Amino acid sequence: MSAAGETVRLAGRILTLRKMGKAAFAHVEDASGRIQLYFRLNVLGDDAFATVKELYDLGDIVGTEGTLFRTRTGEITLEVRRAVMLAKALQNPPEKFHGLRDTETRLRRRYLDFAANPDVRQAFSVRSRMVSEVRSFFDERGYLEVETPVLQPLYGGAFARPFVTHHNALDQDFYLRIATELYLKRCLIGGFERVYEIGRTFRNEGMDRDHNPEFTMLEAYQAYADYTDMMALIEELYLSVALAVHGAAQIPYGDDEIDLTPPWRRVRLHEAIEAATGIDIYAFPEADALLAEVRAQGIAAPERVTWATLVDELLAERVEPTLIQPTLLVDYPVALSPLAKRREDDARMVERFEAFVGGLEVANAFSELNDPLDQRQRFEEQARERAAGDEEAQPLDEDFLLALEYGMPPTGGIGIGIDRMAMLFTNSASIRDVILFPPVRNRESE
RNA sequence: GACCCGGUAGCUCAGUUGGCAGAGCACCUGACUUUUAAUCAGGGUGUCCUGGGUUCGAGUCCCAGCCGGGUCACCA
């Protein structure tokens, strides 16, 4: 112990406190760790020692100065010469041995969860390093980090119901963005060739273990690239992050060990469905015929039956849960992908993939549709879906179509769920474990 | 939205067949100069989630509601 005898100053929150007649021990903790303090009457003097005995409680934050020594059990301890109360706790901290377990209190007073449960704090430390590595990854590859509007006059870029708000000065409603896609594409049209944005997006939908109404998504776009470039990108990104935050390409998740080493398994969507269910979705091009096949599988039909929703139902029910090891599902039906470019060899399909890891959808990418005429048709198809009752169909965006008419280079684009990535790298079962302050319902009394 | 589970002291929890509201930690009083989940002696601090109902009597049984969790639905 090289610092023995030297004067040391440290501060922290009191976690344990053992007061005796003329001495007291405490453990204090700050972000760097915990250490024991030793207060002695004959070192501190009557007044200062009396203050410790009468005033100090668990949870208080104190500043101290003293010298280090080892107790007879060998623990490094600060013998305190001077001490000052930095913040007095008026509320009792959670119980020191059992910690804070009650899920409702943990959510409503999240600061107590952080204070009482170091492993909860640890997850956010991992998340922070992970995001840093993600930024470095894109920065090093020449992508420009940009920030596009959160408040948008029209929403788009994903299938979701938006949150709506109102701008008083303009007396105009705005939507909180459900995706950054259409603005990032405007950047491409304007000549930026590689852009990315890590941003909060908002979708007015239910919450569960892998959905939160506000979440962080990374979208990246690269001119003169296509979805195969995005396949390599997602594989390399996950590998880089794994090595940076975990030190290995293999990570534990739940009961599984996931190997992120590229290349990931690639399966064509309709083949994955056929392998799991025996149904060749392209052999049943009409919704009614496909519905009969889906029902024969014992799968409940979605509320709104279209060919596309049935395909998605098959995917969600029978394919996605099995995708524990990293898998790229490729070549989606055009009806599910109104912003993606059609395959040249099969106009029913688009150049798109979704990446799955640990059963979670972690990325969605495509060769971006840059034909303004086809894009208009796709929007018009969405408008028909909308008129038929699909609240999540995408609205026709004339302003975006106008931009496309000036010419967007062929582009590969990808959306990556940052929260789900954090779930994987922190081995968290719930997205709320990697969101600092998840929303909770107001209590009537509050 | 449906179903299941839960809500008792600041925290973690117990509470029997319906019969005075409990324990540990925390807290308060006293003792204690190397303790470390300190120890020893004493002290219970409560809207039993809320509102009704049944009953001589409800934390416990019934109904409605609130809040949380889980599963499902939704999230193409």
pLDDT in tens, A66-125: 999 999 999 999 999 999 999 999 988 988 888 898 888 998 899 999 988 888 899 999
Report the Cα–Cα distance between both ends of chain A, in Å, rounded.
Answer: 52
A443 CA, B56 C1': separation in Å?
A: 37
Estimate in Å the CA A99 to C1' B24 gap, whole number. 13
Question: What pLDDT shows up at residue A445?
Answer: 37
**Separation CA A366–CA A251 (nearest Å):** 27
Contact A69, A80 (CB under 8 A): no
Nearest nt to the A332 alpha carbon by C1': B76
pLDDT (0 to 100) of residue A295? 79
| Positions of chain B reached by protein Cβ under 7 A | 1, 6, 10-13, 24-28, 31-38, 66-76
Helical ranges in A281-343 per DSSP H: 287-296, 307-314
Nearest residue (Cα to C1') for B75?
A: A205
A22: nt with nearest C1' to CA: B33
Which residue minimizes Cα–C1' distance to B27?
A92
Q: What is the pLDDT of residue A4?
A: 63
Write down the pLDDT at residue A155.
92
Q: What pLDDT score was predicted for residue A80? A: 96
Nucleotide B10 C1' to residue A43 CA (A):
33
* Nearest DNA or RNA nucleotide to A98 (CA to C1'): B12
Q: Looking at the C1' of nucleotide B66, which residue has the nearest alpha carbon?
A: A444
Q: Can you give the distance from the CA of residue A18 to the C1' of nucleotide B35 in angstroms?
A: 7
Give distance CA A45 / C1' B52 (Å).
62
How distant is C1' of B62 from CA of A112, in Å? 38
Q: pLDDT at position A305, please?
A: 75
Give the nearest nucleotide to A72, CA to C1': B34
Complex-level ipTM: 0.88
Task: Enumerate residue ranges in chain A where pLDDT < 70.
Answer: 1-4, 301-304, 443-446
Q: Could you report the per-residue pLDDT of A386-414, keeping only the tens digit for each? A: 887 788 888 999 999 999 999 999 999 99
Question: Contact A65/A80 with Cβ under 8 angstroms?
Answer: yes
Collect all residues with Cβ–Cβ distance below 8 Å to A398 and sequence separation of at least 6. Answer: none
Give nearest nucleotide to A311 (CA–C1').
B76
Identify the pLDDT of residue A3: 58
Distance A172 CA to B3 C1' (A): 42
What residue ranges in A125-240 does DSSP mark as E strands? 144-145, 151-152, 164-167, 172-176, 194-202, 214-223
Name the strand (E) or helix (H) holding A425: helix A418-426
What is the spatial distance between Cα A170 and Cα A167, in angstroms, rounded to a whole number?
Answer: 6
- What is the reported pLDDT for A400? 96
Distance in Å, residue A445 CA to nucleotide B51 C1': 14
For A66-133, give the DSSP string: EEEEE-TT--EEEEEEEEEEEE---SPPPPTTT----HHHHHHTHHHHHHH-HHHHHHHHHHHHHHHH
Instruction: Return d(Cα A319, Cα A314) in angstroms, integer.
Output: 7
Question: Which nucleotide is nearest, taking the CA of residue A24 and each C1'?
Answer: B35
Per-residue pLDDT, A446: 35
